[in-house]
Amino acid sequence: MKKHNRTIIQSIKKDIIKGYKRFFWFFYTKLKYFFYFDLNFRKSTNNKEFKISLLLPSRERSKKFIRLLDSINKTCFIKNRLEILLLIDEDDNETDKYQSIILSEKYKKLDIKFFSKNFETHAIRNNFLAKNSTGEIIFPINDDMIFISNNWDKEIDKVFIKVSNQAYCLWVNSGLKYNHLHCDFPMVNRKWYEKLGYVGSEFFKFWYLDAWICDLSFKSKKFFITNKIKTFQFSAHTIKSEVDDTHLKNLKNNIPENDFITWHNTNKYRIKDAKKLK
């Protein structure tokens, strides 16, 4: 129901529900992280290093790809445990530039797997990459983001070692005001992926991959939130200089509006899939 169509009572009720949700998930996620990781008697002596698969669909953004790789080089502690799965379309005008970047001496310590295939949606692209990944941690990322926190891969180890026998999700701090209500870049372990058979729902044309994972997190309570991994997204929605042909293409044909409708019509599927994670 749109705001101007709601009565005062309906508006007050919605605000109360919204306030309760913010309050509950703020304390739930803070206390959960504290009891698992900040109390001395819960600290793990296991120093397992997980292999991390970064899923990266891209298109005609080789310069942004460089910016992302530079941030990984600067902040990742153990680079050789990463695999970066890069997927571009077969007709990408910057194919040669991507391949040149991958072969650059600057990024020789990064294991970058290159794929060139045409897929209809963002979720299908990510699911293709997930299927071809070998890491124990599956981390969908964007070509317009960077990593800010140093040693973020060590924080991933610390979290997932606690739940290595369960399907689990980890939210990073992606710079949102209410980072306990949404994460732009949630990652999952392989058990999560195997139980669902996908990393992103293929109901959508482009949007809602992150929202879907976050909602499954809420419904299953199988997630942690860490503020020790910070990322930044150079979003074209807020930074005019970041607007490019790829961004404009994703706004065509009412894709955001249609995906919004799809989101509200697929809650029953999220309820069903969240049960698989428990």
Contact (CB, 8 A) for 72 and 141: no
pTM summary value: 0.92
Maximum CA pair distance of the chain? 63
- Alpha helix ranges (H) inside the chain: 8-33, 62-75, 95-102, 122-131, 152-160, 190-196, 209-220, 245-250, 255-264, 267-276
What H or E segment, with its residue span, contains residue 142? none
Residue spans of the domains in the chain: they are: 30-276
Q: Which CATH superfamily is domain 30-276 in?
A: Spore Coat Polysaccharide Biosynthesis Protein SpsA; Chain A (3.90.550.10)
Q: Tell me: the pLDDT tens digits for 168-193?
A: 999 999 999 999 999 999 999 999 99
Residue with tokens 């989101």: 263
Q: Which two tokens stand for residue 253?
A: 């044909």
Q: Tell me: the pLDDT tens digits for 102-133?
A: 999 999 999 999 999 999 999 999 999 999 99
DSSP state of 166: S
Q: Which amino acid is at 267?
A: N
Residue with tokens 């169509």: 5
Residue with tokens 């503020």: 227
Give the strand pairing for 169-173 and 137-140.
unpaired
Can you give the pLDDT at residue 110?
A: 98
Confidence band (pLDDT; 50, 70, 90) for 2? very low
Contact (CB, 8 A) for 173 and 229: yes
